[in-house]
């Protein structure tokens, strides 16, 4: 059995690596893609995970395959293709550690995953099935993702959803909102940023917005607020969990680290177990996830910046 299986994009993040002697920007090759990052965060803490997605039959695809294997992420669901190249993203970091993206994905291999290529046996063996909205932008991956989520839902899996908004990947905001809302129909656990909350609900008020996000039956809604912490709602229980404060140098992967750590704390739990959790139990889990996300911002990269279990536990003592 797998604690979490995720479907979606696995790509190369070329992250800012400083300047050379001539003042030219240096980019470093890193493994990325939000669903893969979430699995990596869980796996590094000790969880059992598996990935479903598509990469190119190229050197970048080989690097990504090896990265997953080195993280003990099962790759039975990883598909290789020689028809489309592995997707690339260039990630620039400003002086505050905030990210901006440039994507080379027209098309990229991640978009070309077809539903008949999805390994259903991997889904059958999971407790939590996780997906994001990048695979909903366009291409065969859109159908493959939604049909896989529907399949997992029918199989009684906990559905975890990260409608991570990347404006450059969508034709327009209206279509982005439409497809991101489509994903919400299946979700039991949802994580959004404050920007995504406003896009999907029209609300900036956390209490009202989280209630709107849960209207389709989501058990747990999480709103990541960066240096302000994390807001949560479980039914009529809601609140703000303070952040673990650090000096951030790179926020890339912090939200994925948070989500992966949260998944790790839900290992062995059913949806009914989550529904019965007390305020204290929920907040303890979110504190753990906040620390994981914060540690990730103190290092460069996404997967390479994810913390080990002892690092989090030492802080929480």
| pLDDT above 80 (res 99) | no
Q: How many residues does the chain have?
A: 317
| pLDDT above 90 (res 304) | no
Cα 309 to Cα 38: distance, rounded to the nearest angstrom: 15
- CB-CB contact of 137 with 87 (8 Å): no
Cα 193 to Cα 77: distance, rounded to the nearest angstrom: 29
- CB-CB contact of 152 with 123 (8 Å): yes
Q: Strand, helix or coil at 132?
A: strand
14 inside domain: no
| pLDDT above 80 (res 240) | yes
Cα 212 to Cα 23: distance, rounded to the nearest angstrom: 48
100 inside domain: no
23 inside domain: no
Enclosing domain of residue 235 = 2-8+32-83+109-316
How do residues 119-160 score in pLDDT, each as one tens digit?
Answer: 999 999 999 999 999 999 999 999 999 999 999 999 999 999
Residues 6+ positions from 40 with CB-CB distance below 8 Å? 31, 71, 73, 256, 260, 302, 303, 306
Cα 214 to Cα 106: distance, rounded to the nearest angstrom: 34
Half-sphere exposure of 242 (CA within 13 A, CB side): 3
Pair of tokens at residue 157: 């899996």
Q: What average pLDDT does the chain have?
A: 95
25 inside domain: no
17 inside domain: no
| pLDDT above 70 (res 60) | yes
How do residues 255-295 score in pLDDT, each as one tens digit?
Answer: 999 999 999 999 999 999 999 999 999 999 999 999 999 99
What end-to-end distance do the CA atoms of the chain give, in Å?
31
Number of domains in the chain: 1
For the four alpha carbons of 298, 304, 307 and 310, in that order, the dihedral sign comes to: negative
- CB-CB contact of 7 with 135 (8 Å): yes
244 inside domain: yes
Torsion (CA) 213, 156, 55, 182 in degrees, nearest 10: -30
Q: What was the pLDDT predicted at 17?
A: 82
Stretch 287-316: mean pLDDT: 93
Stretch 192-196: mean pLDDT: 96
Confidence of residue 103 (pLDDT cuts 50, 70, 90): confident
Predicted model pTM: 0.94
Q: Minimal CA–CA distance to 11: which of 296, 302, 308, 299?
A: 302
Confidence of residue 303 (pLDDT cuts 50, 70, 90): confident
Q: What was the pLDDT predicted at 97?
A: 64
CATH code of 256's domain: 3.40.1190.20
- CB-CB contact of 234 with 280 (8 Å): no
151 inside domain: yes
| pLDDT above 80 (res 21) | yes
């Amino acid at each position: 059995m797998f604690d979490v299986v995720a479907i979606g994009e696995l790509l190369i993040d070329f992250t800012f690596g400083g300047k050379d002697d001539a003042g030219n920007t240096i980019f470093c090759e890193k493994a990325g893609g939000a669903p893969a990052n979430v699995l990596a965060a869980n796996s590094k803490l000790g969880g059992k995970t598996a990935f479903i997605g598509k990469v190119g039959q190229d050197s970048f695809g080989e690097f990504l395959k090896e990265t997953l294997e080195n993280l003990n992420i099962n790759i039975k669901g990883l598909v290789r293709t020689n028809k489309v190249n592995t997707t690339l993203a260039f990630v620039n970091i400003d002086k505050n550690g905030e990210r901006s993206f440039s994507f080379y994905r027209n098309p990229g291999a991640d978009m070309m995953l077809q539903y008949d290529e999805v390994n259903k046996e991997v889904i059958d063996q999971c407790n939590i099935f996780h997906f994001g909205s990048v695979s909903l932008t366009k291409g065969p991956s859109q159908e493959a993702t939604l049909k896989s989520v529907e399949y997992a839902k029918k199989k009684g899996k906990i559905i975890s959803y990260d409608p991570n908004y990347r404006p450059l990947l969508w034709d327009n905001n209206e279509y982005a909102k439409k497809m991101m809302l489509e994903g919400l129909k299946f979700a039991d656990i949802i994580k959004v940023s404050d920007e995504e909350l406003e896009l999907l609900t029209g609300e900036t008020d956390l209490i009202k917005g989280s209630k709107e996000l849960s209207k389709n039956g989501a058990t747990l809604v999480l709103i990541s607020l960066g240096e302000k912490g994390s807001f949560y709602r479980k039914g009529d229980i809601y609140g703000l969990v303070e952040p673990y404060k650090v000096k951030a140098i790179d926020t890339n992967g912090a939200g994925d680290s948070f989500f992966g750590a949260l998944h790790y704390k839900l290992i062995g739990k059913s949806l009914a177990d989550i529904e019965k959790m007390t305020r204290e139990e929920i907040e303890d889990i979110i504190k753990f996830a906040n620390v994981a996300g914060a540690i990730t911002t103190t290092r460069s990269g996404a997967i390479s910046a994810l913390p080990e279990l002892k690092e989090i536990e030492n802080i929480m003592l």
